[in-house]
Amino acid sequence: MAVTGARTFRNFVGGEWVDAAAGQTFESRSPATGELVGVFPKSGADDVDRAVDAAYSAFEEWRLVPAPRRGEILFRFGQLLADHKEDVSQLMTREMGKVIAEARGDVQEAIDMSFYMAGEGRRLFGQTTPSELRDKFNMSVRMPIGVVGVITPWNFPIAIPSWKILPALVCGNTVVFKPANDTPLLGERFVELLVEAGVPAGVVNVVHGYGSDVGDRMVRHPGVPIVTLTGSRETGVAVLKAAAEGLKRVHLELGGKNAIIVMEDADVDLAVEGIVWSAFGTSGQRCTAASRVIAHERVYDEVQSRLVEAAERMRLGPGWEPDTDVGPVINRRALEKIHSYTEIGRDEGARLLTGGEVASGNGLSDGFFYRPTIFGDVEAGMRIAQEEIFGPTTALIRVRDLDEAIRVANGVPYGLSSSIFTRDVNRAFRAMRDLDTGITYVNAGTIGAEVHLPFGGTKETGNGHREAGQAALDVFTEWKSIYVDYSGRLQKAQIDTAT
């Protein structure tokens, strides 16, 4: 991959690449090496206003484009993304840090979402129902809403924009997109390929910058009726408050504190493999990461020893090196937060089994690397078992039976993903019913969602909406009920004509 060096990038507004109004910029650097990836416009309210105006103007024409034609553009985008999969994946390892195999998976998820949502252009199902009156036809249809404000995080910098932007487009909305300021070039590349696929001018606009400037103005702008955000709980609450006065539709995907339950009849080898992948994949920087392992007392010691052994074999390094298992975390602030939770765990009385330190030497000192960390003897109420750490740290909790395991799993503020390893089908079905999460896996880890099922969680993980699958369409459309009377006379509905 060619290094971009100090190349300066721009916003994309109304079909043109433009500088920020104030002329300010910020840098994007590789979390593995500190290498300069690019320079981007540090935008403000004026830039957001210009982008919203462009999106609003484009909406009137875009909403009238037949949905199958909109879907064809998304299909071309998916093909382009597939053609450029390796280039985009290599860029992801440098700008965001995840290992190359995971970066390819991130891009593939966007490809899958492109083709899935392209197909919705020929569906967008409504309903037909019988009428209570003769010679009358009833149906419901989905209608686009307008300009969608899209705010995405850095941890899935191609996949998550696809979850939000593509269903918004196929439904007939237009978009103002603020990529994370840690991964602006990947957001830029996403939009470049959409433009190449044939998205008309003004339909998708990208405005780079910080949440306090770009994001806040987008949320408050009266011309943006929908805001979709993936981020922290604190940011989600702030967005809800800012959007409340405008009665905006707000879609939030927030935090997780996900647990893997390992019962005494589990395949322990399989369970440990699932825990390692779920806890330390993407350096633990997933909202679905397994930051808790709830093990039955009969297998607790075996799970603990095997898990520590597996974690200590993992190689840290830049994501583009083929033998790297764990890449860097995104930035210094994240590194410091992760390490602060190691100190919290120690202070709470948990036993540090491995890791718990910033990695240095062997070419790691220029990046933000943290060793895979495992705590044992963790009590369910400890902060390290309750709060989202968003790093390569997991906590082992001992339980006596399935009832206790489910209580512990549910005893956190979040409800995104859960998992159980067991050979007992009855236990599996009880867990599927009783785990209070939006996603549950049986004999697999807590990560691995597929694009044709709803993605999202319960409790403080979000505000009830879902991404992916047909459920995503509910975020970006309004229902309209239509009644067609072909009787030739006025039929008075909801009038009691009984004598």
Q: Give domain status of residue 189, yes or no.
A: yes
347: pLDDT strictly greater than 90: yes
Decide: 202 and 14 in contact? Cβ < 8 Å.
yes
Paired sense of beta strands 458-459 and 414-415, if any = antiparallel
* Mean local confidence (pLDDT), 194-208: 98
CB 254 within 8 A of CB 467: no
Segment 190-201 mean pLDDT: 98
Residue 445: closest CA among 304, 281, 329: 281
Residues 6 or more apart in contact with residue 165 via CB below 8 angstroms: 148, 150, 175, 177, 190, 194, 204
Say whether pLDDT at 499 is over 90: no
Which residue range forms the structural domain that includes residue 432? Answer: 258-442
Residue 172: how many CB atoms within 10 A of its CB?
Answer: 24
Q: Is 253 a catalytic residue?
A: yes
Quick one: pLDDT at residue 493?
75
176 with 299, same domain: the answer is no
Q: What is the pLDDT of residue 498?
A: 59
Q: Give yes or no: residues 328 and 276 share one domain.
A: yes
Could you tell me the CATH number of the domain that includes residue 389?
3.40.309.10
Are 137 and 246 contained in the same domain?
Answer: yes
- Residues 247 and 281 placed together within one structural domain of the fold: no
Q: For 150-178, write each residue's pLDDT tens digit.
A: 999 999 999 999 999 999 999 999 999 99
Q: Are 328 and 285 in contact (CB under 8 A)?
A: no
Assigned token pair, 332? 């210094």
pLDDT of residue 3: 40
Q: Give the CATH number for residue 121.
A: 3.40.605.10
Average pLDDT, the chain: 96
DSSP code at position 3: -
Q: What is the pLDDT of residues 374-391, one digit of tens each?
A: 999 999 999 999 999 999
Average the pLDDT over 452-468 and give the result: 96
Assess whether pLDDT exceeds 60 at residue 464.
yes
Whether residue 318 is found in the same domain as residue 429: yes
The reported pLDDT for the residue numbered 496 is 61
Q: With respect to residue 188, please indicate whether it lies within any of the assigned structural domains.
A: yes
Flag whether 273 is in a domain.
yes
Residue 489 lies in a domain: no
> Which helix or strand (DSSP H or E) is residue 329 part of?
none
Structure tokens, 446: 């807590």
| The one catalytic residue among 287, 388, 460, 467 | 287
pLDDT of 6:
64
Helix, strand, coil distribution of the chain in percent, nearest 5: 40, 20, 40
Judge if 363 and 281 occupy the same domain: yes
DSSP, residue by residue, 195-249: HHHTPPTTTEEE--S-IIIIIHHHHH-TT--EEEEES-HHHHHHHHHHHHTTT-E
pLDDT at 273 over 50: yes
Same domain, 49 and 178: yes
450 lies in some domain: no
Mean pLDDT of the 315-333 span:
97
Residue 5: inside a domain, yes or no?
A: no
Are the C-beta atoms of residues 207 and 177 closer than 8 Å to each other? yes
pLDDT for the residue 494: 72
Which tens digits make up the pLDDT trace of 22-67? 999 999 999 999 999 999 999 999 999 999 999 999 999 999 999 9
Give the pLDDT score at 279.
98
Residues 28 and 80 in one domain: yes
Q: Do 296 and 317 reside in the same domain of the chain?
A: yes
Domain count, the chain: 2
Is residue 335 in some structural domain?
yes
- Give tens-digit pLDDT for 425-435: 999 999 999 99
In which band, very low, low, confident or very high, does the pLDDT at 397 lie, cut at 50, 70 and 90? Answer: very high
Band of the pLDDT at 124, cuts 50, 70, 90? very high
Q: What local confidence, expressed as pLDDT, does residue 45 receive?
A: 97
Enter the tokens of residue 283: 């350096």
Say whether both 142 and 178 belong to one domain.
yes
pLDDT above 70 as % of the chain = 98
Q: Is residue 457 part of a domain?
A: no
Confidence of residue 1 (pLDDT cuts 50, 70, 90): very low
pLDDT > 90: what percent of the chain?
96
CB 388 within 8 A of CB 414: yes
Alpha-carbon gap, residue 158 to 105, rounded angstroms: 10
Q: Check whether residue 218 and residue 284 sit in a common domain.
A: no
The pLDDT, as a whole number, for residue 70 is 98
Among candidate residues 95, 253, 460, 467, the one labeled active-site is: 253
Asked if 237 and 321 sit in the same domain, the reply is: no
| Beta-carbon count within 10 A of 322 CB | 9
Q: Does residue 102 carry a pLDDT above 70? A: yes
The predicted-structure confidence for 206-224, as pLDDT tens digits, reads as follows 999 999 999 999 999 999 9
Burial 461-476 (b: 16+ CB within 10 A, else e): bbeebbbbbbebbbbb
